[in-house]
Chains A and B, each alone.
Chain A
Amino acid sequence: QVQLVQSGAEVKKPGASVKVSCKTSGYSFTGHAMHWVRQAPGQRLEWMGWVNGANENTKYSEKFQGRVTLTRDTVADTAYMELRSLTSEDTAVYYCARDDGGVPYWFDPWGQGTLVTVSP
């Protein structure tokens, strides 16, 4: 079955960077884009961007433009999210989610989430 397995929890200092991985299995990695979403404590889910599985094309939310980089490795069938210049406001659970459906589209499945804590 389709599975997305994310890397483990991270604790970072303010100003640092974090890179979260999303290892996929059970489907053609290059046939789907991968989205990244985060949820800070007490906040709603927030879309960060997507990376095309077939090429290096990306689209980022304006909020994260310039601070986030989404990449993928088609040999390892893995997507990555790197977020730089971390502040306490970046403390959140980060999810990867496969783009499915075409037009319209939906997210299915999701990874289990990676908690990133930013603390001095």
Chain B
Amino acid sequence: DIQMTQSPSSLSASLGDRVTITCRASQSIGTSLNWYQHKPGEAPKLLIYAASTLQKGVPSRFSGSGSGTTFTLTITSLQAEDFATYFCQQCDGNPSFGQGTKLEI
């Protein structure tokens, strides 16, 4: 099974900051990597699919990059509604998830 390692596990930032979250796969997965936002009590929300494609309706301050084993999610100009948990998911075969990054003010 493909293991996903996400870092950092938590992150403190301020409104307007730029933050980057990294996800590493235990083997090459091409661009089969998705990013989600999860707020307590809500359904997870797809942000980025296929490593770098922004899902419709997601603000352009979110971006994704990477291929192979290393991927990044970048959020520029943090807004209040962005404080949440973010997790990556690989979909090269059976899916698996990173452990999540809690983004706090």
Contacts and interface: CB of A to CB of B under 8 A. Distances in A.
Contact of B97 (A46, A61, A105): A46
A110 B95 contact: no
Interface SS of chain B: loop
7 contacts: A4-B43, A45-B97, A45-B100, A110-B43, A111-B43, A112-B42, A113-B43
Given A61-B94, A108-B49, A109-B45, 6 more contacts: A4-B43, A104-B30, A108-B55, A110-B45, A112-B42, A113-B43
Nearest to B87: A45
Interface of A: 4, 35, 37, 44-47, 59, 61, 95, 97, 101, 104-113
Interface of B: 30-32, 34, 36, 42-46, 49-50, 55, 87, 89, 91-92, 94-100
Contacts of B46: 106-109
Contacts of A113: 43
A104 B29 CA distance: 10
Interface SS of chain A: strand
A104 B43 contact: no
Contact of A106 (B34, B94, B97): B34
B76 to A, nearest CB: 22
Contacts of A59: 94
Given A45-B87, A110-B44, A113-B43, A104 B50 contact: yes
